């Protein structure tokens, strides 16, 4: 960091989120040591792989959420997209359709619902929190009408090797997460589309003035989040082999929490996929470790919420003198 | 205020919105009468008013918070309802008189709202994130301290507020919602405090430069939102004679919906009590009517989502016509 008064450009790129990533890694190591000393079961391969499998859907959705939040927007309807996609997948399986038709169908449903959010936000100029709040109502209405209060159960686990399988010494779930984050990273950092996302998050008006097609970028980013949520729905069905009525009720809040914990600025323009992945890992490790220590799972939300407040307060105090942060 | 010159008769967009809402309400009543033979009866009125007070109090608090701008929003009101209920129930089981316990509950509501206000206005955490985090914390605390079990055993005379009637109308409506709504309406339209709130919402910088203490005013409004949520919690407890730790779940979204549907601009500066009350009546009429017609509540969810999106997309077009950057 340059000292006060030194206006020369920095000699090397300083990542605005690197300190957060390091802090999260340190936090993960600290809580892991605490949990490992409290429960001998915590640091077993079996437990860690189970924790990762349980965090698969959250990790995938959070990658898309990071892009949306970097763009200065938000999506609280991903739980609804997850539910509707999972129901379409479940009904398609029940109708006897093969997996090579069900898979693209599930992905397409997710993408379409995401694009719907993007359309309302970009074209109808509804603020993202309101548009996705409204679409969450609509998606849950669709879910209740289709599912009618009963679970869809007894579904085939054709895709479950993607979750439970092993490729050599590497769990397949890790490869899926790696592939999704690689895709998101390429989109965000290697394509001009990703630069457009950052530009809109920094200053939407200026982005429009330099000729970026803001509306199209917004719709495509929301559609990408929808696509990833559809993928998460496929894996959800493969993992649990049923669709519960309370599917996806907390996933939107957890994904937002993971993204913010990971150093992405809620006002847009700054963000890190690595930080989000670490945030997801931190949340799931905390949940797993607390259960192993015998703490009621009801305390989870209190702990996640308190962590969010601490992180946001820290950010606020650090950015006190930064005009852009206010 | 921007001058409205296009329509010769109706100059105020709020007034136009109110007329639109009352028209919508008539449509809803007509539709429900067609759907259910039980709807068009005198006995429906007290039945409808029984459902109104809790949501109405939350919606009014939300209206004030959003109106003061910032942009402000309070997603934690549902969790405040739950937590205040649990606290009052806990105090009552310790042997404290129920009405005294309710007094403590109101103070607790003010304190919880004050925490939101401090996080948002002093630390300058975006309201959406701050109240999302406190929603986790307050709601989680309510669930975790009771292990998810409701607290019952309130004395029968406590039911006076939630179950009793005066002149055939529910006491909670006559003695709580009606006076609160009238008082807030007078405050907003006839006092300097009301003018200050609207001024903060329109342009907080100008308000600050003209000598208003914007931060103090907004903190007070968040605290007021907490107090109104605590009153709603007491009414709900008195109605069911039990304190459920999830009593307020989902209410924050409904509260935002009726405030925004009622014409309060999501970025502040425009809005008022009559619109919120009209939106409250529409939402409750849909709820009651569909219940009486024995139609799935999912339709109500979907309708609210559509109404929310349509009402906001319409409003932003109005604001652009007024030359205000949204």
Instruction: Note whether A124 contacts B309, CB cutoff 8 Å.
Output: yes
Instruction: Note whether A74 contacts B128, CB cutoff 8 Å.
Output: yes
The mean per-residue pLDDT over the stretch B123-136 comes to: 86
The mean per-residue pLDDT over the stretch B196-212 comes to: 89
Instruction: Note whether A127 contacts B305, CB cutoff 8 Å.
Output: no
> Residue A129: its chain B contacts at CB < 8 A?
73, 128, 266
Q: Please list, in sequence order, all residues whose beta carbon lies within 8 angstroms of the beta carbon of residue A273, skipping any fewer than 6 positions away.
A: A63, A66, A181, A184, A185, A188
Instruction: Note whether A313 contacts B125, CB cutoff 8 Å.
Output: yes
- Give the distance from CA B76 to its chain's centroid: 12
> Residue A127: its chain B contacts at CB < 8 A?
266-267, 312
Count: domains in chain B: 1
- CA torsion, ordered B192, B198, B204, B207, to nearest 10 deg: -30
Across the interface, which of B129, B253, B298 has its CB nearest the CB of A145? B298
How far B41 CA sits from the closest chain A CA (Å)? Answer: 29
Give the residue on A whose Cα is nearest the Cα of B318: A125
How far A284 CA sits from the closest chain B CA (Å)? Answer: 16
Judged against a pLDDT cut of 60, whether residue B102 lies above it is answered with yes
Q: For the segment B245-277, what is each residue's pLDDT rounded down to a tens digit? A: 888 887 888 898 899 888 888 888 888 899 999
User: Among the listed ranges A128-132, A212-216, A283-287, B158-162, which one has the minimum average pLDDT value?
Assistant: B158-162
Judged against a pLDDT cut of 50, whether residue A238 lies above it is answered with yes
Instruction: Note whether B296 contacts A127, CB cutoff 8 Å.
Output: no
**B108 domain residue, yes or no:** yes
Q: For the segment B17-41, what is each residue's pLDDT rounded down to a tens digit? A: 888 888 888 888 888 888 877 777 7
Q: For the segment B221-240, what is each residue's pLDDT rounded down to a tens digit? A: 999 999 999 999 999 998 88
Which pLDDT value is given to residue A95?
86
Average pLDDT, chain B: 85
The number of beta carbons lying within 10 Å of the beta carbon of residue A289 is 20
Q: Identify from B131, B137, B265, B297 which residue to disrupt to test chain A contact, counting A C-beta atoms within 10 A and taking the largest count.
A: B137
ipTM of this predicted complex? 0.79
Which pLDDT value is given to residue A250?
79
> Between B115 and B20, where is the model more confident?
B115
**B37 domain residue, yes or no:** no
Instruction: Note whether B306 contacts A134, CB cutoff 8 Å.
Output: yes
**A232 domain residue, yes or no:** yes
Q: What distance in Å separates the CA atoms of residue B315 and residue B310, rounded to the nearest whole number?
A: 9
**B4 domain residue, yes or no:** no
**A11 domain residue, yes or no:** no
Q: For the segment B44-63, what is each residue's pLDDT rounded down to a tens digit? A: 788 888 889 999 999 999 99
Q: Which CATH number belongs to the domain containing residue B228 in this structure?
A: 1.10.3470
**B15 domain residue, yes or no:** no
Q: What distance in Å separates the CA atoms of residue B252 and residue B220, rounded to the nearest whole number?
A: 19
> Residue A142: its chain B contacts at CB < 8 A?
298, 302
The mean per-residue pLDDT over the stretch A134-155 comes to: 83
Which pLDDT value is given to residue B5?
47
Percentage of the residues of chain B whose pLDDT score is greater than 70: 93
**B254 domain residue, yes or no:** yes
> Residue B309: its chain A contacts at CB < 8 A?
120, 124, 126, 130-131, 134-135
**A4 domain residue, yes or no:** no
Which pLDDT value is given to residue B326?
38
| H/E run at residue B165 | strand B165-166
Instruction: Note whether A309 contacts B119, CB cutoff 8 Å.
Output: yes
Burial of A322 (0-12, 13-18, 19+ CB in 10 A): exposed
**A214 domain residue, yes or no:** yes
Handedness of CA B15, B16, B21, B24 (dihedral sign): positive
How far A62 CA sits from the closest chain B CA (Å)? Answer: 16
Q: What distance in Å separates the CA atoms of residue A109 and residue A248, rounded to the nearest whole number?
A: 16
**B143 domain residue, yes or no:** yes
Of the candidates B130, B141, B110, B133, which has an alpha carbon nearest to the alpha carbon of residue B230?
B110
The angle subtended at Cα B101 by Cα B95 and Cα B104, nearest 5°, is: 135
Judged against a pLDDT cut of 70, whether residue A8 lies above it is answered with no
**A137 domain residue, yes or no:** yes
Of the candidates A173, A161, A146, which has an alpha carbon nearest to the alpha carbon of residue A243?
A146
Give the pLDDT band of residue B308 (cuts 50, 70, 90). confident
Per the structure, the complete domain to which residue A205 belongs is given by 18-318
The mean per-residue pLDDT over the stretch A222-226 comes to: 96
Q: Please list, in sequence order, all residues whose beta carbon lies within 8 angstroms of the beta carbon of residue A268, skipping any fewer than 6 positions away.
A: A69, A70, A71, A72, A73, A200, A201, A202
Give the residue on B whose Cα is nearest the Cα of A136: B305
**B283 domain residue, yes or no:** yes
Please report how the helices B273-292 and B13-35 are oriented relative to each other, as an axis angle in degrees rounded to 10. Answer: 10
Q: What distance in Å separates the CA atoms of residue B261 and residue B284, rounded to the nearest whole number?
A: 13
Which pLDDT value is given to residue B46?
80
Instruction: Note whether A317 contacts B123, CB cutoff 8 Å.
Output: yes
Instruction: Note whether A140 contacts B301, CB cutoff 8 Å.
Output: yes
**A93 domain residue, yes or no:** yes
Question: String of b and e for B95-131 (b: at least 16 CB within 10 Å)?
Answer: eeebeebbebbbebbbebbbbbbbbbbebbbbbbbbb
Per the structure, the complete domain to which residue B128 belongs is given by 45-312
Across the interface, which of B139, B140, B312 has its CB nearest the CB of A130? B312
Q: What distance in Å separates the CA atoms of residue B258 and residue B263, rounded to the nearest whole number?
A: 9
Give the pLDDT band of residue A195 (cuts 50, 70, 90). very high
Count: domains in chain A: 1
User: What string of DSSP letters covers B114-159?
Assistant: HHHHHHHHTS---HHHHHHHHHHHHHHHHHHHHTTPPB----GGGH
Which pLDDT value is given to residue A149?
66
Residues making up chain A, counted from first to last: 326
**B326 domain residue, yes or no:** no
């Amino acid at each position: 960091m340059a000292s006060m008064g030194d206006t020369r450009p920095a000699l090397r790129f300083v990542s605005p989120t690197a300190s957060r990533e390091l802090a999260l890694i340190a936090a993960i190591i600290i809580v892991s040591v605490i949990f490992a000393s409290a429960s001998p079961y915590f640091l077993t391969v079996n437990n860690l792989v189970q924790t990762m499998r349980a965090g698969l859907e959250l990790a995938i959705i959070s990658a898309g959420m990071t892009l949306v939040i970097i763009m200065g927007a938000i999506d609280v309807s991903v739980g609804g997209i997850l539910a509707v996609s999972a129901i379409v997948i479940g009904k398609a399986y029940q109708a006897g359709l093969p997996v090579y038709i069900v898979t693209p169908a599930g992905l397409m449903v997710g993408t379409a619902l995401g694009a719907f959010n993007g359309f309302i936000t970009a074209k109808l100029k509804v603020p993202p929190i309101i548009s996705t709040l409204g679409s969450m109502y609509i998606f849950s209405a669709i879910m209740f009408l289709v599912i009618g209060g009963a679970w869809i159960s007894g579904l085939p686990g054709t895709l479950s090797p993607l979750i439970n399988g092993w490729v050599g010494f590497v769990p397949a779930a890790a490869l899926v997460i790696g592939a999704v984050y690689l895709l998101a990273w390429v989109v965000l950092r290697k394509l001009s589309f990703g630069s457009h996302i950052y530009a809109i998050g920094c200053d939407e008006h200026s982005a429009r003035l330099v000729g970026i097609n803001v509306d199209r970028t917004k719709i495509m980013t929301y559609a990408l989040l929808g696509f990833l949520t559809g993928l998460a729905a496929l894996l959800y069905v493969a993992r649990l082999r049923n669709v519960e009525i309370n599917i996806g009720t907390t996933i939107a809040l957890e994904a937002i929490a993971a993204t913010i914990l990971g150093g992405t600025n809620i006002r847009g323009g700054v963000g890190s996929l690595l930080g989000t992945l670490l945030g997801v890992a931190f949340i799931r490790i905390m949940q797993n470790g607390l259960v192993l220590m015998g703490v009621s799972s009801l305390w989870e939300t209190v702990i996640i919420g308190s962590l969010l407040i601490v992180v946001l307060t820290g950010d606020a105090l650090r950015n006190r003198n930064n005009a852009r942060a206010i | 205020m921007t001058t409205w010159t296009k329509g010769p008769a109706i100059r105020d967009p709020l007034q136009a919105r109110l007329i639109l809402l009352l028209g919508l309400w008539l449509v809803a009543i007509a539709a429900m009468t067609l759907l259910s033979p039980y709807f068009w009866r005198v006995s429906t009125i007290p039945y409808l008013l029984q459902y109104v007070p809790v949501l109405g109090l939350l919606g009014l608090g939300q209206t004030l918070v959003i109106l003061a701008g910032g942009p402000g929003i309070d997603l934690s009101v549902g969790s405040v309802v739950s937590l205040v209920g649990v606290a009052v129930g806990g105090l009552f089981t310790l042997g404290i008189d129920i009405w005294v316990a309710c007094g403590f509950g109101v103070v607790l509501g003010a304190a919880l709202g004050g925490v939101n206000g401090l996080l948002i206005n002093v630390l300058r955490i975006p309201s959406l994130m701050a109240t999302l985090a406190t929603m986790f914390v307050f709601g989680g605390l309510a669930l975790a301290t009771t292990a998810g079990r409701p607290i019952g055993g309130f004395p029968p005379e406590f039911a006076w507020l939630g179950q009793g009637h005066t002149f055939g109308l529910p006491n909670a409506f006559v003695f709580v919602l009606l006076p609160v709504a009238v008082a807030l309406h007078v405050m907003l339209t006839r006092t300097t405090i009301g003018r200050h709130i609207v001024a903060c919402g329109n342009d907080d910088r100008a308000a600050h430069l003209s000598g208003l203490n914007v931060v103090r005013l907004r903190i007070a409004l968040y605290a007021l939102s907490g107090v109104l949520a605590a009153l709603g919690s007491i009414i709900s407890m008195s109605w069911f004679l039990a304190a459920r730790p999830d009593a307020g779940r989902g209410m924050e979204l409904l509260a935002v919906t009726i405030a925004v549907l009622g014409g309060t601009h999501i970025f502040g500066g425009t809005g008022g009590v009559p619109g919120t009350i009209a939106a409250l009546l529409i939402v409750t009429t849909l709820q009651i009517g569909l219940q009486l017609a024995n139609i799935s509540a999912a339709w109500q969810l979907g309708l609210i989502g559509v109404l929310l999106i349509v009402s906001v997309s319409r409003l932003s077009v109005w604001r652009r016509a007024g030359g205000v950057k949204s």
